[in-house]
Chains A and B, each alone.
Chain A
Amino acid sequence: MTVAAIPLRRLAATRLGWLADLLPFAVGVAVWQILSALEIWPRVLFPSPAEVFRAFVADIRSGVLPFNLGVSLRSLGIGFVVGAAIAVPLGYLMGLSRASRRFFDPLVNLLQAIPGLAWIPFAILWFGLGQGAVTFIIVMSVFFPVLHNLLTGIRMVQPVLIEAVQTLGAGRAAVIAHVIFPATLPNLMTGIRLGIAFGFRSLVGGEMIASTDGIGYAIFNAQQYFQSARIVVGMLAIGITWLVMDRVVLRPIEQRTTMRWGLMREGIERV
C-alpha cells in the first residue's frame, strides 16, 4: 500500500491524474480477466470481461439497459426525495424539541430495525405490482438512515458555539440557520449516502419481487435464462450509477462545505 502510494500521489498531482483514478478499475478488470481465463468455474457461472462488455453494448443498443436504468432511477429518485423530505424536517424537530423526541423516538426505534424489503407484501397490497410498490419500500429504506444520522449530528453540536452566537444576539432561528444546520452537515451527508445505498438495496430486491421493469428485474430475469453476462451488466450498471452520483454530486458538496471548513478530511496519512 505504502509502496504504491508514493508514485500514485505524484501521478495524481500531474495533469495525468485521471490515470491514477483509473488504475483501481484497470487492476480490477485484470484480476477478473485472469480468473476467468483460468476457467476454474464454468463460463455460465463466471462470465469473462469480454462477454460482459459485449452484453453491455448489446443491451445499450437494444435500449433495454437505458430503459431499465431509467425506470429504476426514477423510483430511486422519487423514493429518496420523499424519504429524505420527511426524515430531515422530522430529524430537526426531534433534535430541537424534547416533547417531539419523546413522542417520535419510540416509534422510530420500533420501525428502524425492520428492513425495507419486509414491507414488500404490504407494498404490493397497497400499490399493486410495479414501481409504486418499489418506490414505497425505497422510501422506508431511505428514511431511517437519514433520520438516525441527522439526530446523531444534532446531539454532537458543540454547546459553546450556540452560546457564543447567543451572546452576539442570535435568536432561535439564527442559531438553527448559522450553527445547527452547518454543524450537522457532515452527518447529514453521511445519512444521505447511507440512505441512497440502502435505497439501492431495496430497489433491486423490490424489483426482483414486485416489478416487471428496472435493473433489479433485469438481473432477476437474466438469471432465469442463464444469461450470466447480463446479470453482471445489471450489477455494474448499479455500481457505475452510484460512482457517478458520488463523484458528480456528493463529493463536490462535501469539498465545498465540510472539508473546506476543516470539519472533515479525506483521511489521515500522518500516523
Chain B
Amino acid sequence: MTMAAAPDLLVARNVCKTFFEPTRGEDVEALRDVTVAVRPHEFVSVIGPSGCGKSTFLRIVAGLDRPTAGEILVEGRPVVGPGADRGMVFQEYALLPWKTTRANVEFGLRLKGVPRGERARIAGRFIDLVGLTGFENRYPHHLSGGMRQRAAVARVLAVNPTVLLMDEPFAAVDAMTRQRLQEELAAIAAAERTTVLFVTHAIEEAVFLSDRVVVLSGRPGRIIADMTIALPRPRVWAALAQDAAFVDFRERLTRLIHTGGAPVGGHA
C-alpha cells in the first residue's frame, strides 16, 4: 500500500488478535498480521479452516472487537466501533425475535429515519429478492433456518452499507437454495455495486461469488494466498460448474488450504 495507489475502500493493516482464554488461563492467538485491502465494488471472500479466525477478523472489521495490534480503515477513516456503514450478517442470523420479518428488514431503515412508506417499499423489495414474500408478518421462530438466514441478508441489504460483511450466511441452507441464494447475492452485489467482505469455509462458494479470495492458514490465521478470480460476470451455476477456469481456481484453492499454503506459491 504505497501512497500513490490506494483508492481502497477498506483496508485491514497488520491486524493481530490474541484472546485470553480464562478457562485455560492462557492466551489464544487467533489472527497474526492480517493485511487485506478491498477496492470499491469488489467482492472479497476470506476462506480458511474452522477456528482459524475468520469470524474474529470480520468482527474486528465490523468494529465489534478491537484488534490487539493493527487497524482497520474504511474510506480512510479508522474504525473505532460498529456502524451502519459496515452491516453484518451473522453466522447465527441474530434476527430480533420480537419483530416480524418485515419489521426486522425495515429496522435499519427506521434507525436511519427513512419515512414509513419508503421503508415499506425498500423492505418489500429486499424481502422479495430473498424469496420471503408471504412471510412478512411471521416472527422469526416461525421461519425455517434458511428463511431466517435470508431475512438476515435482506435486513442488511436494505440498509445499503458501504461494506457488506457476511459470516457464512448460507451455511445452514440446503444445497439447492444455497446455489440460488449465491446467484442472487452475486447479482444483487453487481447491480447495487455493493462492496462485500464474505467469510466462508466453502471453497466453491468463495470462487463463485468473489473477485478475490483471501486464504487464511489454520490458527493463528495468517494470509497464505490472495487470489484474483478472473471469471466473467454475471455468474450462474449452470454455466460455471463445469467451466475449466472455475474448476482450476477451485482446485488451486483446495490444494492451498490442504497444504497450509507453504510450498505452493498460488498467487494469481
Contact = CB atoms under 8 A, between A and B. Distances in A.
Q: Do A and B come from one complex?
A: yes
A167 B82 contact: yes
Given A178-B96, A262-B140, 7 more contacts: A158-B94, A167-B82, A167-B83, A167-B86, A168-B159, A169-B112, A262-B142
B96 A167 contact: no
B159 A169 contact: yes
A260 interface: yes
Chain A to chain B: the 5 pairs with minimum beta-carbon distance, closest first: A262-B141, A169-B84, A164-B94, A168-B108, A166-B82
21 contacts: A158-B94, A160-B90, A163-B82, A163-B88, A163-B90, A164-B95, A166-B81, A167-B64, A167-B86, A167-B165, A168-B84, A168-B111, A168-B155, A169-B84, A169-B112, A169-B159, A179-B96, A183-B98, A257-B98, A262-B97, A262-B139
Interface in B95-132: 95-99, 107-108, 111-112
Sorting the interface of chain B by its residue count into under 10, 10 to 19, 20 to 34 or 35 or more gives 20 to 34
Interface of B: 59, 62-64, 81-84, 86-88, 90, 92, 94-99, 107-108, 111-112, 139-142, 152, 155-156, 159, 165
Contacts of B83: 166-167, 169
Given A261-B139, A262-B140, A167 B84 contact: yes
Contacts of B111: 165, 168-170, 174
Given A178-B107, A261-B97, A168 B141 contact: no
Interface in A159-188: 160-161, 163-170, 174, 178-179, 182-183
B168 to A, nearest CB: 14
Given A167-B86, A168-B159, A160 B92 contact: yes
Contact of B98 (A160, A163, A164, A261): A261
Contacts of A160: 90, 92, 94
A182 B94 contact: no
A173 to B, nearest CB: 10
Contacts of A158: 94
Given A261-B139, A262-B141, A165 B88 contact: no
A182 B96 CA distance: 9
A161 B165 contact: no
A61 to B, nearest CB: 48
Contacts of B87: 167-168
